[in-house]
Amino acid sequence: MANILIVAEQSGGELKKGTLAAVQLANQLGGGFDVLVVGSGVGGVATALQGYGAGKIYVADDAVFGNYLAQPFKAATVAAAEASGAKFIVSTAGTFGKDFLPRVAGAIGAGMVADCVGLAEGGLFKRPMYAGNIIATVKANTERVVISVRASEFDNASPVGGESPIEALSVDVGDVAARFVSFDATESERPELTEADVVVSGGRGLKDGPTFWNVMNPLADVFSAAVGATRAVVDSWDEVPNDMQVGQTGKVVAPKLYVAVAISGAIQHLAGMKNSKTIVAINKDAEAPIFQVADYGLVADAFQAVPEFIEKVKAAR
Ligand SMILES: Cc1cc2nc3c(=O)[nH]c(=O)nc-3n(C[C@H](O)[C@H](O)[C@H](O)COP(=O)(O)OP(=O)(O)OC[C@H]3O[C@@H](n4cnc5c(N)ncnc54)[C@H](O)[C@@H]3O)c2cc1C
């Protein structure tokens, strides 16, 4: 019997790195962990996780899990939680975990610690509140606890060797009330925002959608970076899709390098990027709050500074 069950996040049969942050939390909690892999054609994900020290890897591999729907994923997680006997059920805090984990908590009568950023003494958990301005220390009073992990706050666990046994899990998903209709994925050659080592983000100072891309594309190219944006941008310009939003109500990122171009630095934006390892800000207003979190700040017009910055980076290589 393991203390923890980790529900792996995968997309199209590829393991998402955030799962390894969940493994890291499990290592800190201690007591051993099992893993659940849910999807269709996800044998490779289970194999990829075999060297991380799980007691067992449950695999619910069925066409019914091929296109994500919360209800079947909840059913699989509840079944795996029963099989494993785990006290803590853990997954990532992105859109995946946000959608199905509360249903798991409801189904098994567990308390929920959402957006866990660390552990505190005495079996307590840390989580951000008020756009990350306060870190609350919370206690779950229930016997079992569901936890979503903010991946940007944990290092990825390293392999420990060994080969965890894989066990097929049969799941009765029951009557599924929702029906999968379609999935409109944004096609991009660039890395995924939450997985990228470098993120370059643009703000409203970039004037309009086409100009945003004229400035940001070459900058992203030079760093092989993911491109992010502020809410002001995704709300206003059709050319910049919503899934690029970084911030409190967007994605939370903590890359090695975050370049903020013509972004004022509103607290809701900072909530999504201020833990980046190195922050570079380019803004023509020296008083812009983004400079308070920036490691390197350039007070300049982005339309002039970004092309010069790109040339300097290229020349330095
Ligand atoms: C409940 C709630 C949730 C929110 N969630 C989010 C969120 O998740 N993410 C998010 O980003 N925002 C969020 N917001 C919105 C947030 O409050 C700000 O409005 C938004 O982040 C501002 O975006 P911006 O920096 O692009 O625009 P602005 O604040 O308008 O800043 C534009 C900046 O560009 C600079 N600039 C202009 N021209 C140039 C130039 N040529 N060269 C260089 N600099 C230039 C200006 O000096 C200015 O600092 C949320 C707001 C609320 C109320």
Compute the residue count for the chain.
317
Distance 94 CA to ligand 1 centre (A): 22
What is the per-residue pLDDT for 132? 82
> DSSP of 28-61, one letter per residue?
HH-S-EEEEEEESS-HHHHHHTGGG--S-EEEEE
pLDDT in tens, 118-127: 999 999 999 9
Same-domain pairing of 150 and 48:
yes
Structural domain tally of the chain? Answer: 2
pLDDT in tens, 200-257: 999 999 999 999 999 999 999 999 999 999 999 999 999 999 999 999 999 999 999 9
Q: Is 205 in the pocket of ligand 1 (CB under 6 A)?
A: yes
Distance 229 CA to ligand 1 centre (A): 9
Please give the average per-residue pLDDT across 1-21, as a whole number.
94
Three-state DSSP at 96 gives: helix
Distance 258 CA to ligand 1 centre (A): 16
pLDDT band at 137 (very low <50, low <70, confident <90, very high): very high
Three-state DSSP at 120 gives: strand
Q: Is residue 190 part of a domain?
A: no
**Residue where a domain stops, chosen among 120, 152, 168:** 168
How far apart (Å, rounded) are the C-alpha atoms in residues 16 and 149?
13
Nearest residue (CA) to ligand 1, atom 22: 232
pLDDT band at 69 (very low <50, low <70, confident <90, very high): very high
CB-count burial class (<10 Å; 0-12, 13-18, 19+) for 186: exposed
Sign of CA pseudo-dihedral 98, 100, 103, 107: negative
Q: Is 72 in the pocket of ligand 1 (CB under 6 A)?
A: no
Q: Is residue 189 part of a domain?
A: no
Distance 186 CA to ligand 1 centre (A): 23
Q: Is residue 50 part of a domain?
A: yes
Same-domain pairing of 107 and 209:
no
Classify 185 in phi/psi space as left (phi over 0), alpha (psi -120 to 50) or beta: beta
Same-domain pairing of 213 and 96:
no
Sign of CA pseudo-dihedral 272, 274, 278, 284: positive
Please give the average per-residue pLDDT across 134-138, as a whole number.
96
E strand map for the chain: 4-7, 10-11, 14-15, 33-39, 57-61, 88-92, 111-116, 118-120, 124-129, 134-138, 145-149, 166-168, 198-202, 226-229, 257-261, 278-283, 296-299
**Residue where a domain stops, chosen among 168, 186, 210:** 168
For residue 229, which atom of ligand 1 is closest to its CA? Answer: 11
The answer to whether 35 touches 8, Cβ cutoff 8 Å, is: yes
What's 251's domain CATH number? Answer: 3.40.50.1220
Nearest residue (CA) to ligand 1, atom 11: 230
Same-domain pairing of 80 and 11:
yes
Residue of 215, 219, 248 to test ligand 1 pocket, by largest number of atoms within 8 Å of CB: 248
How far apart (Å, rounded) are the C-alpha atoms in residues 91 and 111?
14
Q: Is 303 in the pocket of ligand 1 (CB under 6 A)?
A: yes
Classify 291 in phi/psi space as left (phi over 0), alpha (psi -120 to 50) or beta: alpha
CB-count burial class (<10 Å; 0-12, 13-18, 19+) for 232: middle
Q: Is residue 294 part of a domain?
A: yes
- Please give the distance of CA 308 from its chain centroid, rounded to a whole number: 32
Q: Is residue 21 part of a domain?
A: yes
Q: Is residue 278 part of a domain?
A: yes
Q: Is 245 in the pocket of ligand 1 (CB under 6 A)?
A: yes
pLDDT in tens, 76-108: 999 999 999 999 999 999 889 999 999 999 999
Q: Is 272 in the pocket of ligand 1 (CB under 6 A)?
A: yes
The H or E element containing residue 140 is none
Q: Is residue 257 part of a domain?
A: yes
Nearest residue (CA) to ligand 1, atom 6: 268
130, 78, 127: which is closest to 107 by C-alpha? 78
Nearest residue (CA) to ligand 1, atom 18: 266
Residue 80: what residue type?
A
How far apart (Å, rounded) are the C-alpha atoms in residues 219 and 262?
13
What is the per-residue pLDDT for 119? 97
Q: Is 138 in the pocket of ligand 1 (CB under 6 A)?
A: no
Residue 212 is part of which domain span? 198-315
Residue 186 has pLDDT above 80, yes or no: no
Same-domain pairing of 12 and 116:
yes
Do strands 257-261 and 145-149 pair parallel, antiparallel, or not at all (unpaired)?
unpaired
Same-domain pairing of 164 and 302:
no
